[in-house]
Amino acid sequence: MERKHLCAALLLWAIVYFVLPVSSDNLLRVGLKKQSLDVNSINAARVARLQDRYGKNVNGIEKKLGDSDLDIVSLKNYLDAQYYGEIGVGSPPQKFKVIFDTGSSNLWVPSSRCYFSIACWFHSKYKASKSTTYTRNGESCSIRYGTGSISGHFSQDNVQVGDLVVKDQVFIEATREPSITFIIAKFDGILGLGFQEISVGNATPVWYNMVGQGLVKEQVFSFWINRDATAKEGGELVFGGVDSNHFKGNHTYVPLTQKGYWQFNMGDFLIGNASTGVCAGGCAAIVDSGTSLLAGPTTVVTQINHAIGAEGIVSMECKTIVSQYGEMIWNLLVSGVKPDQVCSQAGLCYFNGAQHVSSNIRTVVERETEGSSVGEAPLCTACEMAVVWMQNQLKQKETKERVLEYVNQLCEKLPSPMGESVIDCSMISAMPNITFTIKDKAYVLTPEQYILKTGEGITTICMSGFAALDVPPPRGPLWILGDVFMGVYHTVFDYGNSRLGFAEAV
């Protein structure tokens, strides 16, 4: 998906960090401070939604710690959710806290000319007049977010990341930040580590310039994210190689299937030991350090939340489908009607040449929003989910009554509009493992690893680490493996060989 006018960051939580001196092994570490999780902050910052990030239509290099040509940014964990680091822009360097985000490709920081946005009052601002290496560009640009946008203009200056100084980097000076998200955020800006294909304005990403200017020996960077809530060190971002202290065994590498995001093909997805069947033939997935949770199709996330006892908002459309059309859907499936034709034969969807939409809103779709997404057709979407669930139960030879009861229960577990679901903390030990299959290897997440805890004692709240995100074909279904996954599996972003590597983190 092109990102000329659209990129976003999932701002579920925020992190701050500080720079530590270069150690005796010539590696710079940037530490992040941990603070207690604040439910109010979570709710306020959740407004930048996943859908607007990805759209609705929408030979191992393992250098050892101590190699002098590695640049290490040490991270500390704030709220077990986002990981930030400090960079410098200009000469002398002006300091900014940024998200190192593999899901976007631009660098932006607030501008000193940001006069009318409250967010700019609370964050560091770039002052071009204070830099001896500043070069004017002036081309206007904007980046859309879930509940707002930033806008400004391109500028050019030196950018310091750890010990590395990237010369003549084109970045965005944000002169408007109207979203409340940016007001409460602990970070100042974002440093994208994705590919140029999704760069707004086709600006060359910082990582590309690191490689092009010969600042790294190997064309690879790697993330270690520490999910230990009691640890002082929250993780590391290594440019130019891999820190062998933070993984065990060897990395398993999988080739990239599409440049833009760090995208690859993922195999079967299991709840406990049972396949969901959704990705048995393969699913597109990306690794995204800018996303706190694991995001996937609503159909599967609902099954996960049902299996772990998570409680979401009841979907009236879903329950309506079960009560009024459940038996019809069952009979159509049993009679041999193809699953992708069931909802249209039931009169709930029709095919508009690209995808199914609800027959109830056909006139509106044709007149005003031709080609609109399935997300605008709730009954059609609910029917298609019910078909997936029923078909899976049919394979297990369950009775009609039990299947309809099961689907109705899944309806009650549909995530809330922002995708989050809460669970009973006392039930964690009884929850199933969740398994991703990547290149025929199982990557298991235990309940302790995919459940997020907030608060302490009787005020503790446990949240499911899975959020719903529906990206229709041909781009989707799409899974986003965010910090919940990266915290368990050390990840190598091998730019030189167009692949990703995963190993168990330590």
Give the pLDDT of residue 158: 98
Q: What is the pLDDT along the chain (506 residues), one digit of tens a residue?
A: 333 322 333 333 322 232 333 333 433 344 433 334 443 333 333 333 344 455 433 333 333 333 445 677 766 454 444 577 899 999 999 999 998 999 889 999 999 999 999 889 999 999 999 999 999 999 999 987 544 578 999 999 999 999 999 999 999 999 999 877 677 777 899 999 999 999 999 999 999 999 999 999 899 999 998 877 667 777 889 999 999 999 999 999 999 999 999 999 999 889 998 888 878 788 899 999 988 889 888 888 888 888 888 876 545 668 778 888 899 999 999 999 998 889 888 888 865 444 444 433 322 222 223 333 333 466 788 888 899 999 888 888 889 999 999 998 888 777 655 556 778 888 899 999 999 999 989 999 999 999 988 766 766 778 888 888 887 777 777 899 998 999 999 999 999 999 999 999 99
Helix (H) or strand (E) holding 320: helix 316-334
Render 259-292 in DSSP notation, one character per residue.
TTTTEEEE--EEETTEE-STTTT-EEEEE-TT-S
Which CATH number among 1.20.1050.10, 2.60.40.10, 3.40.50.300, 2.40.70.10 corresponds to the domain 36-51+73-218?
A: 2.40.70.10
Helix (H) or strand (E) holding 182: helix 180-184
Give the pLDDT of residue 54: 56
- List the CATH code of the domain at 240-299+431-505: 2.40.70.10
Crossing angle for the helix pair 378-395 and 400-412, to the nearest 10 degrees: 130
Give the pLDDT of residue 354: 42
Q: Where are the beta strands (DSSP E) in 162-255?
A: 164-176, 189-192, 220-225, 235-239, 247-255
Q: Where are the beta strands (DSSP E) in 344-440?
A: 349-351, 356-358, 422-423, 434-438
Q: Which amino acid is at 128?
A: A
Residue pair 6/55 in contact by the 8 Å Cβ criterion: yes
Three-state SS for 419-437 is CCCEECHHHHHHCCCEEEE
In the chain, CATH 1.10.225 covers: 316-350+377-411
The CA distance from 260 to 406, in Å, is 39
Mind telling me the catalytic residues? 101, 288
Chain centroid offset of residue 142 CA: 21
Crossing angle for the helix pair 400-412 and 298-308, to the nearest 10 degrees: 90
The CA distance from 241 to 484, in Å, is 22
Residues shown for the chain: 506
Residue pair 282/267 in contact by the 8 Å Cβ criterion: yes
Residue 301 burial (CB count, 10 A):
26
Question: Which tokens belong to 403?
Answer: 């299947």
The CA distance from 475 to 3, in Å, is 14
Burial of 161 (0-12, 13-18, 19+ CB in 10 A): buried
In the chain, CATH 2.40.70.10 covers: 36-51+73-218, 240-299+431-505
- List the CATH code of the domain at 316-350+377-411: 1.10.225
The CA distance from 130 to 109, in Å, is 15
Burial of 76 (0-12, 13-18, 19+ CB in 10 A): buried
The CA distance from 253 to 237, in Å, is 19
Residue with tokens 């779709």: 365
The CA distance from 220 to 492, in Å, is 7
The CA distance from 30 to 482, in Å, is 21
